[in-house]
């Protein structure tokens, strides 16, 4: 009973209720471009429904579940509580009611859940799919070895059926893990640097076989069709075209820093909503980087936490390859928010299990 009435739980519930209202009202307030993906999913104008690929499977999910036949505000009232309940089951840390940077990041993250994925969304499915990885790390029933094996299988399966780049996460995670075993002066930054190089060599290998690199066949293709559009101001445009090996390596590093350390995005000072999200990403990346460094130094003590960190930073690296703009970068980060939530509060969750 104590858990249900303490200040942290009350703060969590009040924030959830306030953002449930945000989720419901979003349809009436946000501009139509926010619902472009949702319209594709619900109306399936191009007949994409199927069993492979993010759009086909998402369309199938909303049809089978019956959600596609409901108004968007009602879908929000159904989906948002499910996402919040997952966070609740992961756990509410002590001092959640206190206003500090870490808690503010989570408060804003919950707000973004209400804005971005309480509507019909591919990220809703991603959120549900990655949550079991966190629950395995929170449960004493799963050994560390079993957690790794199941997590890798889940990511590969998700990549095969839904989003192909998720299948690359275990590859980059494995490479970063091996690099982290070497004694470098700055192990954290070196591990990330080699993670980016691994992404580049994967793209280079793909380019040799298919004739085009990862960012060329994803980000460039999407952005070409958006040039001159109203929402094109947040596009990620590398200084070199990624149609050469050196252009691709520049695009990958540029993309990584743009979506994770977006200091170049501060030029959007006249767009407050973009500026707030940029500050959120800067603070989030910094805090996670500090925690990643701590986990690397005490890897035996923080083995489960380090696994989540490797998965998260591998995901961040892949965002630098595939993300077309800052808006989608934020939305996709919210799709893996269970991992972020666990990583931010891992000290509390570890203490709770002891």
Q: For the chain, how far is it from start to end, CA to CA, in angstroms?
A: 21
Q: Indicate the range of 34-48, 56-70, 302-316 predicted with least confidence.
A: 34-48
Query: What secondary structure does DSSP assign to 61-117, as a single string?
Result: HHHHHSGGGS-HHHHHHHHHHHHHHHHHHH---TTTTS--HHHHHHHHHHHHIIIII
Asked whether 306 and 265 are in contact (CB, 8 A), the reply is: no
Residue 1 has pLDDT above 60, yes or no: no
Write down the pLDDT at residue 229.
Answer: 63
Q: Mean pLDDT across the stretch 175-180?
A: 96
Write down the pLDDT at residue 268.
Answer: 64
Write down the pLDDT at residue 4.
Answer: 47
Question: Within 13 A of 229's CA, how many CA atoms are on the CB side?
Answer: 12
Q: Closest by alpha carbon to 220, among 315, 342, 322, 145?
A: 322
Residue 328 has pLDDT above 90, yes or no: no
- Tell me the C-alpha distance between 75 and 296, whole Å: 41
Asked whether 302 and 294 are in contact (CB, 8 A), the reply is: yes
Q: What is the mean pLDDT of the chain?
A: 91
Alpha helices in the chain (DSSP H): 2-5, 7-29, 36-43, 54-65, 72-90, 101-112, 122-138, 144-161, 169-180, 187-210, 214-217, 219-224, 245-260, 272-297, 303-322, 326-335, 337-344, 346-353
């Amino acid at each position: 009973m104590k858990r249900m009435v303490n200040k942290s739980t009350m703060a969590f519930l009040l924030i959830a209720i306030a953002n449930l209202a945000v989720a419901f009202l979003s349809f009436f307030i946000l501009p139509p471009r926010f619902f472009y993906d949702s319209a594709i999913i619900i109306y399936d104008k191009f007949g994409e429904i199927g069993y492979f690929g993010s759009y086909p499977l998402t369309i199938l999910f909303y049809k089978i579940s019956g959600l596609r036949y409901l108004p968007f505000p009602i879908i929000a009232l159904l989906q948002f509580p499910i996402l919040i309940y997952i966070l609740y089951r992961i756990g509410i840390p002590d001092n959640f009611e206190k206003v500090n940077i870490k808690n503010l990041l989570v408060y804003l993250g919950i707000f973004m859940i209400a804005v971005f994925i309480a509507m019909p969304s591919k990220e809703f499915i991603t959120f549900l799919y990655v949550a079991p990885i966190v629950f395995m790390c929170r449960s004493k029933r799963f050994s560390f070895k079993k957690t790794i094996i199941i997590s890798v299988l889940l990511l590969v399966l998700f990549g095969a059926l839904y989003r192909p780049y998720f299948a690359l996460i275990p590859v980059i995670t494995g490479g970063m893990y091996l690099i982290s075993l070497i004694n470098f002066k700055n192990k954290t930054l070196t591990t990330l640097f080699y993670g980016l190089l691994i992404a580049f060599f994967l793209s280079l290998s793909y380019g040799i076989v298919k004739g085009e690199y990862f960012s060329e066949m994803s980000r460039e293709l999407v952005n070409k069709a958006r040039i001159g559009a109203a929402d094109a101001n947040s596009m990620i445009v590398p200084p070199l075209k990624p149609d050469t090996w050196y252009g691709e390596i520049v695009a990958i590093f540029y993309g990584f820093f743009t979506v994770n350390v977006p200091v170049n995005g501060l030029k959007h000072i006249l767009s407050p909503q973009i500026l707030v999200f940029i500050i959120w990403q800067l603070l989030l990346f910094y805090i996670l980087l500090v925690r990643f460094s701590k986990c690397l130094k005490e890897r035996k003590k923080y083995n489960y936490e380090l696994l989540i960190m490797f998965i998260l930073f591998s995901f961040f690296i892949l965002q630098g390859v595939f993300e077309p703009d800052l808006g989608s970068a934020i939305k996709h980060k919210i799709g893996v928010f269970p991992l972020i939530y666990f990583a931010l509060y891992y000290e509390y969750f570890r203490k709770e299990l002891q």
